[in-house]
Structure 1
Amino acid sequence: MLPFFRKKKNGNPKMEGNESAVSSEELLNETSEADNTEEEVHTDLSFHPEWTMSKEDQYSFQFLNMECPALRPNQISLSGISLQENEPGTCQITAFIRNSLNKTITLHETTLVFLDAKDNVLGRKTVDLSSAGEIPAKSSRPWNFTFNDEELFTSDLPEEGWKLAFQLKPSSRKHSLQLDNSWEQSLAEKDKSKLKEMVENLDPPKPGEVNFMGLKALQKDDGALHVTLLIRNGSNKNITLEQIPLQVEDSHSQVVAKGGFSLDQFEVKANTSKPWTFIFPTELVQKEHIDLSSWKAYPLQKK
């Protein structure tokens, strides 16, 4: 059954639910290279070959797809379109399955959760999404999901603000190395292999922990201090860092450099470690001659 589209005051259809996106690597163990420095992905509408509908419904889906926010590369999302109560205790949810990868994907059996605006769980079900067919690269496919009374935990269904989300299993993958594109392109293969081996041989961070490990510190001839750190994400979610206040101590436990660094959408994926070099210009270096036979660098806690 195709959805009934609620209308805005201007007569256009409206989205009733919200967006819920996950990493394609976490969900499918699939990634693809972004186009150049692509930061946003807009998805084209794609219908299942066996779906038939009126021109009016096609227009409604097209309009709502254009209303969806842009995705980031390597994401799979569910974007809530409509919710209908078929009969007491059951409902049909229509949502876009959205694929921001540069390649076709096929989903399989997965667990979905139905959430309200405050992320309270209203329902849960396991569904085989292979029936949705192949989802083309950078596309949105509308699909219907039916929850019965055993899969719903409430009879009080929200009209708006809800969302359908993938329930990811706790990661069983080994903690692994993640390299920024600039590092992938500039680092020699032997150096990549050494980093990968080191990360895999280290004890991983505790679940949910994010920490910093020093790799290399070097003072240049102009006095600037270059510090390379391994940012280690032990959680099952990707994290994005925007501001990092760092302090460096030398072998005598004396502060030799301190400063804040602004990062542009710096993402460390779930259960990975990502190296990055922070450059302290001479004005942030507090000693002229630094003993770096041993050292440590760490983020300053906000007061």
Structure 2
Amino acid sequence: MQQLLFESSWDKTISMKDRKIIHETFLKTKTGDHNIHFVPLWQALNHKENLLVTVLIHNFSDELLSFNHTTIKYFEDRKQMAKYVFHLPALVVEAETSMPWTFIFPKETISENAKLDDGYLGMSVDLNQS
């Protein structure tokens, strides 16, 4: 059965308002096939003009999910608007677990055509990295 977990630093700092939004989104989207799904929560640019995309990561599989040498792509209207290889060995999503996370795309990886609205993420593992 799918469970919602917060990474420890998130659990300590997240606002009650955001926690409620995440919990409600989890309840609406907690069933799925045996794959990985990113449910968009919100996105923004920070003071460095990096793109911050917060998603609820659903690991519906029966295997551990890690984000070491993982290419994450940001899309709008089915067009790729950003791509970055993330090296996040501390980010691990257990089997049958959902967890919120913010992926930060450096400014130079974002397309000038990006509207930064109604975007979503896709993922692939880069097996050629070590």
TM-score by length of 2: 0.80
Larger relative contact order (Cα-Cα within 8 Å, sequence gap ≥ 6)? 2
Aligned pairs for 1:226-237 (under 5 A) are 226-237=52-63
Cα distance in structure 1, aligned partners of 2:94 and 2:125: 22
Residue 84 of structure 2 is matched in structure 1 by 259
Over residues 107-159 of structure 1, what are the superposed CA-to-partner deviations in whole Å (9 max), with x where a residue is unaligned?
A: xxxxxxxxxxxxxxxxxxxxxxxxxxxxxxxxxxxxxxxxxxxxxxxxxxxxx
Letter of the aligned partner of 1:295 in structure 2?
A: G
Equivalence map 1:210-229=2 (5 Å): 210-229=36-55
How much does 1:237 deviate? Answer: 4.1
Following superposition, which runs of at least 4 residues in structure 1 exceed 6 angstroms of deviation? none
1:72-221 to 2 correspondence within 5 Å? Answer: 173=1, 175-206=2-33, 208-221=34-47
Residues matched between the structures, number: 127
Partner of 1:250: 76
Task: Compute the displacement of 1:241 (Å).
Answer: 3.2
* Cα gap change, 1:221 to 1:276, in 2 (>3 Å): same
Percent identity (aligned):
25
Which residue identity does 1:240 align to in structure 2?
S
Unaligned runs of 5+ in 1: 1-172
**Structure-2 residue corresponding to 1:281:** 106
Deviation of the 1:202 alpha carbon:
1.5
Tell me, in whole angstroms, the C-alpha distance in 1 between the residues paired with 2:115 and 2:95. 35
Structure 1 residue identity aligned to 2:18: D
Q: Could you list the runs of 5+ residues in structure 2 that have no partner in the other structure?
A: none
Structure 1 CA distance, aligned partners of 2:126 and 2:53?
21
- Code of the aligned partner of 1:195: I
Q: How much has 1:229 moved relative to structure 2?
A: 2.0
CA shift for structure 1 position 260: 0.4
Q: Displacement, 1:293?
A: 3.1
- Structure of greater Rg: 1
Per-residue CA deviations over 1:68-107 (Å, capped at 9, x if unaligned) read xxxxxxxxxxxxxxxxxxxxxxxxxxxxxxxxxxxxxxxx
